């Protein structure tokens, strides 16, 4: 009778990170780090002479995991379970102690549990790490690399730029950033963040609105959308370094980030202002920090804060949180903030079947040709926005 392997339990975030590694998207790191490598990365922020912000290790928390890790011997095989199903088989090379608090500091820059993400991440990291070669069980193929390569060949792209965004929701400043980035590249790869926790707008809604914008308002065949599962390794002030590494391994030679990117925090060094971008070493990708865009009521258009002279009291910023709050309340945001077609899609998804008699409401308050026709909630919002935009009585 075959002896059953010991098992370790992991969550979705750990599973995603292990898949990224096997897909070759975290190179120069190609395997779980051992204790010596981990200490070196903690000290230098480099792996094989290239930037990598923290040790890439597997240290799952929990009493059962701790007991199993404590009992493992070199060359022993262990089965890694995700959702109670075999996810990977690992041959043990080494088990070693880590300091979870130190790891948290390396990721977030702090171990203060009041910091967003720190408390959650701290709960899922144990004090024992295991390294060794592993193979994934029933691995699904990642076709995104192939899709990018095919898109490059189709237009004979010489330069490919990555842009990481949540588009939660997709607003006018996002559109401006996408257009400006396309001005300086052949192919644009938008990495659309896909979080683990429930987000206000789920991934499918955000993907649908982004697809709509790309298909209707941009030149064809110049944009590819790739889902990027937003695990804890992308958190904190080192996020941009991981973004750059993943983008490079997906075949991009440029990365554009917004000025309000969460990981861009400025720091003071040697009498000059620098950002985390200046710490990227050995990753052959050009990183550009884009302007912050605002709506100026004197310029009456979307402008860069770098070029608009009229000051903050004339500028409307594009706060995704505030725009989303309007949508969640069922309010149509002004079209200077978000395209009406996108608002209509989002409202119809967030507030399904909110109208008692949509047909009657549509017929009573909107101009029609007198014919009773079937109309969707999306149609209703679009026509309602047209009424908001009439100016004859204003």
CB 96 within 8 A of CB 55: no
Instruction: Say what the pLDDT of residue 262 is.
Output: 54
CB 344 within 8 A of CB 381: yes
Q: Which residues on adjacent β-strands are paired with residue 226?
A: 191
CB 36 within 8 A of CB 101: no
Instruction: Say what the pLDDT of residue 145 is.
Output: 93
Instruction: Say what the pLDDT of residue 261 is.
Output: 57
Q: Which of 158, 161, 168 is nearest to 244 (CA)?
A: 161
Tokens 């507030």 identify what position?
351
Strands 77-82 and 6-10: parallel
Give the DSSP per-residue string, 6-62. Answer: EEEEE-HHHHHHHHHHHTTTTTT--S---HHHHHHHHHHSEETTEE--S---EEE-S
The pLDDT tens digits of the residues spanning 320-331 come to 999 999 999 999
| 10-residue mean pLDDT series, the chain (394 residues) | 79 92 94 96 92 94 96 96 94 96 85 81 92 91 92 97 94 95 96 78 94 96 92 78 94 86 47 57 88 92 91 91 94 93 95 87 78 80 86 67
For residues 212-221, one letter each, b for 16 or more C-beta atoms within 10 angstroms of the residue's C-beta and e for the rest, the string is ebbeeeeeee
> If you ran DSSP here, which 8-state letter would residue 219 be given?
-
Rg for the chain (alpha carbons), in Å? 24
Mean pLDDT over each residue of the chain, to the nearest integer: 88
**Domains of the chain, earliest start first:** 7-136 (3.10.400.10), 143-294 (3.40.50.620), 330-388 (no CATH)
Q: What are phi and psi of 237, to 5 degrees?
A: -75, -5
Number of helical H runs and strand E runs in the chain: 13, 19
The pLDDT tens digits of the residues spanning 183-215 come to 999 999 999 998 766 667 999 999 999 999 999
The count of C-alpha atoms lying within 13 angstroms of the C-alpha of 98, restricted to the half-sphere facing its C-beta, is: 35
Give the DSSP per-residue string, 249-308. Answer: HTT-SEEEE-TT-TT---EEETTEEE-GGGG--S---EEEEPPPEEEETTTTEEEETTT-
Instruction: Say what the pLDDT of residue 197 is.
Output: 67
Q: Which of 185, 189, 291 is nearest to 248 (CA)?
A: 189
Q: Which of 209, 219, 220, 107 is nearest to 166 (CA)?
A: 209
The pLDDT tens digits of the residues spanning 123-163 come to 889 999 999 999 999 887 789 999 999 999 999 999 999 99
Instruction: Say what the pLDDT of residue 111 is.
Output: 83
CB 251 within 8 A of CB 149: yes
């Amino acid at each position: 009778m075959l002896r059953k392997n010991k098992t370790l339990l992991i969550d979705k975030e750990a599973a995603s990170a292990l898949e990224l590694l096997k897909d070759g998207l975290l190179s120069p790191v190609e395997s779980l780090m051992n204790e010596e490598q981990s200490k070196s990365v903690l000290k230098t922020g480099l792996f094989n002479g290239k930037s990598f912000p923290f040790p890439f290790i597997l240290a799952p928390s929990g009493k059962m995991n701790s007991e199993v890790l404590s009992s493992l011997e070199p060359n022993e095989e262990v089965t890694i379970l995700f959702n109670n199903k075999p996810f990977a088989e690992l041959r043990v090379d080494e088990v070693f102690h880590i300091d979870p608090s130190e790891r948290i500091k390396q990721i977030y820059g702090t171990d203060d549990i009041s910091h967003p993400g720190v408390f959650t991440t701290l709960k899922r990291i144990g004090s024992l790490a295991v390294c060794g070669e592993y193979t994934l069980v029933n691995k699904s193929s990642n076709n995104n690399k192939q899709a990018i390569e095919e898109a490059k060949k189709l237009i004979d792209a010489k330069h490919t730029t990555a842009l990481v965004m949540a588009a939660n929701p997709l607003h006018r400043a996002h559109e401006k950033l996408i257009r400006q980035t396309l001005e300086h590249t052949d192919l644009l790869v938008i990495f659309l963040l896909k979080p683990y926790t429930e987000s206000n707008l789920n991934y499918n809604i955000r993907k649908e609105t982004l697809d709509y914008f790309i298909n209707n308002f941009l030149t064809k065949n110049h944009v590819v959308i790739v889902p990027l599962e937003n695990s804890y390794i992308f958190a904190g002030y080192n996020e941009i370094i991981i973004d750059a590494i993943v983008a490079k391994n997906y075949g991009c030679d440029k990365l554009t980030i917004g000025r309000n990117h969460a990981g861009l925090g400025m720091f003071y060094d040697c009498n000059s202002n620098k950002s985390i971008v200046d710490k990227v070493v050995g990753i052959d990708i050009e990183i550009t920090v884009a302007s912050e865009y605002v709506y100026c009521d004197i310029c009456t258009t979307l402008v860069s804060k770098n070029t608009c002279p009229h000051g903050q009291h004339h500028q409307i910023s594009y706060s995704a949180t505030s725009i989303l709050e309007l949508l969640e309340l069922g309010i149509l945001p002004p079209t200077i903030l978000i395209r009406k077609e996108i608002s209509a899609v989002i409202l119809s998804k967030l507030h399904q079947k909110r109208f008692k008699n949509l047909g009657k409401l549509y017929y009573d308050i909107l101009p029609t040709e007198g014919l009773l026709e079937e109309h969707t909630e999306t149609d209703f919002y679009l026509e309602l926005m047209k009424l908001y935009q009439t100016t004859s009585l204003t």
